[in-house]
Amino acid sequence: MNTDNFFEVRRDIEAAVATVRALGYRSIVLQGHSLGTVQVEFYAALTGIPRSKPSILTGAFGKLPWKSRHILIQDEDNYKALADASLVALRAGKAAEILPMKMR
């Protein structure tokens, strides 16, 4: 599907935290791998989790624009069309909407 929204992933993390709390766990460790490292940190920043709370961040991704262009999309015309459509959506205040084309 073409509907992932980075900013909404925190709701998945919130649901997981609520579930383990409901199961009676008191100590919760958040783990993020690759793009999940940023998502865990984003969640922590939004919810005010103190930095002293445990979290495990492994395999942080590097150079996401490079990866998107050369590994995920692999087509310069499509990459330019996606970049242009993203800027148009951002400027129109529609950054959360699905772009008119897929990566590939």
The ranges assigned to domains in the chain are: 1-61, 63-104
**pLDDT given for residue 1 in this prediction:** 44
Rounded to an integer, what distance in angstroms lies between the CA atom of residue 76 and that of residue 16? 38
**23-76 residue pLDDT tens:** 998 888 888 888 788 888 888 888 877 655 777 888 877 777 887 888 778 889
The mean pLDDT value for 90-99 works out to 90
Indicate whether 21 pLDDT > 50.
yes
Rounded to an integer, what distance in angstroms lies between the CA atom of residue 85 and that of residue 69? 15
Give the residue ranges of DSSP H helices in 1-104: 9-22, 35-47, 64-67, 76-91
Rounded to an integer, what distance in angstroms lies between the CA atom of residue 70 and that of residue 19? 38
Rounded to an integer, what distance in angstroms lies between the CA atom of residue 22 and that of residue 86? 40
Measured between its terminal Cα atoms, the distance across the chain in Å is 12
